[in-house]
Amino acid sequence: MSDPGPRRISRRALLRLLLLGGIGGGLAAAEWITRPAGLARYLTWAGRGAVTRLAARPAAVVLARCPSYHDDVLACLTEAWAQADMPDVRGKRVLVKPNLIDFIEGYPVTTAAPVVTAVVDLLAEAGASEIAVGDGPGFRRDALPVAQACGLAAALAERKVPFVDLNYDDPRPVTAADGWFFRTRTLWLPRHVREADLIVSVPKLKTHHWAGVSLSLKNLFGIVPGARYGWPKNLLHINGITPSILGLYQTVRPVVAVVDGIVGMEGDGPLFGAGVPHGLLAVGADPVAVDVACAGLVGFGLAEVHHLAVAAWAGVGRAAAIELRGAPADALRRRYERPPAA
């Protein structure tokens, strides 16, 4: 046999190799750039976001003027709820989730009891089959003493509505939805969260030194059980505040929002900010839209609240299409002092 000599590669084959190498290198670079989510997940979010921005019908956010907790909060809430395209709660198990992170005398840290009880009364009137109120404080106190200190426990006892410490509520693992938890596919969640047909997030409207603002989405941190993850729920910080907020929301939907901005908190939130007599209740079936609207009212654009900006980009909720209803927004605008930044 004759020696074939050194093998030569044709120009076409070389171009093919270069093309394949370029595609492979590009994909690897894209995977690296989009970590920890990865390219496939990133494209899913981006595509969904584009579709949502183009095609989603507007989400209703109703603003109600409610000057103080001594006014008829239930009447304000009922009127707002009726305009907000809220889901039918008849026959449903509903968990009401206020913000009870801690009670600190002199600071409006928690959702006010009159707002929580107004939500409970409205749900009862609307035919919810089971109503429970619960939170899992992040700053290492049991929830019940916090609820007692802010007057909520007694008000719920009058109504025979159970109060649940979500930090200790029989946590079990569920599948984490939508890929926002990068190191785990499961999340341990409390029984009342797992079994709820609907969660009503009832946050205090306030600034937050890590998240910019704390509203109905950030309020969901309180459903993460300290008994499994410890305090202050370090999993959420290690995973990242933005992906954790969005991952929790996607996992526990449906969630609707009632924001207590009757007295808000500005400045050094979420614990030591100053009270702002604001006179606002905000209600909506899309908590992303509600939070975007409320953040805007207190002077925070999307660019300042990372989790809301990412929600808008990824098509989590309807951040870009909001129909404000109820009281005129301009009458309810207050520019809140910013929280301290690193």
Torsion region of 225: left, alpha or beta (phi above 0 gives left; psi -120 to 50 gives alpha): beta
CA distances from 74 to 83, 86, 161, 281, 316 (A): 14, 16, 17, 11, 30
Count of CA atoms in the C-beta half-sphere (13 A) of 99: 29
Residue with tokens 């606002």: 280
Residues 41, 46, 65, 272: which binds another protein (CB under 8 A)? Answer: 272
H/E segment holding residue 244: helix 241-252
Q: How far apart are CA 322 and CA 168, in angstroms?
A: 37
Residues 31, 79, 85, 170: which binds another protein (CB under 8 A)? Answer: 170
Tell me the closest approach of the beta carbon of residue 158 to another protein, in angstroms: 18
Say whether residue 275 binds another protein (CB under 8 A): no
Q: Label the pairing between strands 212-214 and 322-326.
A: unpaired
CB of 258 closer than 8 Å to CB of 196: no
> According to CB under 8 A, which residues from 98 to 117 bind another protein?
104
Residue with tokens 């009870």: 100
The distance from CA 325 to its chain's CA centroid, rounded to whole angstroms, is: 21
Count of CB atoms situated within 10 Å of the CB of 177: 17
Q: Label the pairing between strands 163-165 and 198-202.
A: unpaired
> According to CB under 8 A, which residues from 210 to 239 bind another protein?
227-232, 234-235, 238
Say whether residue 28 binds another protein (CB under 8 A): no
Q: Which stretch binds another protein (CB under 8 A): 54-62, 78-86, 164-172, 327-335?
A: 164-172
**Would you say 124 or 144 has its CB closer to another protein?**
144
Residue partners of 10: CB distance under 8 A and separation at least 6: none
Site string for another protein, 130-159 (x = CB under 8 A): ---------xxxx-xx--xx----------
**Would you say 91 or 230 has its CB closer to another protein?**
230
Tell me the closest approach of the beta carbon of residue 223 to another protein, in angstroms: 16
H/E segment holding residue 114: helix 113-125
Say whether residue 267 binds another protein (CB under 8 A): no
CA distances from 162 to 71, 101, 108, 191 (A): 25, 18, 24, 13
Say whether residue 274 binds another protein (CB under 8 A): no
Say whether residue 266 binds another protein (CB under 8 A): no
Tell me the closest approach of the beta carbon of residue 201 to another protein, in angstroms: 23
Site string for another protein, 60-99 (x = CB under 8 A): ----------------------------------------
Residues 204, 208, 209, 307: which binds another protein (CB under 8 A)? Answer: 209
Say whether residue 36 binds another protein (CB under 8 A): no
Say whether residue 47 binds another protein (CB under 8 A): no
Tell me the closest approach of the beta carbon of residue 188 to another protein, in angstroms: 7
- Which has the closest alpha carbon to 223: 107, 115, 90, 133? 133
Say whether residue 42 binds another protein (CB under 8 A): no
Q: Which stretch binds another protein (CB under 8 A): 24-32, 168-176, 195-203, 241-249?
A: 168-176
Q: Please give the size of the binding site for another protein, defined by CB under 8 A.
A: 32
CB of 84 closer than 8 Å to CB of 62: yes
**Would you say 167 or 216 has its CB closer to another protein?**
167
Tell me the closest approach of the beta carbon of residue 147 to another protein, in angstroms: 10
For binding to another protein (CB under 8 A), which residues are involved?
A: 104, 139-142, 144-145, 148-149, 168-172, 188, 191, 209, 227-232, 234-235, 238, 268, 271-272, 340-342
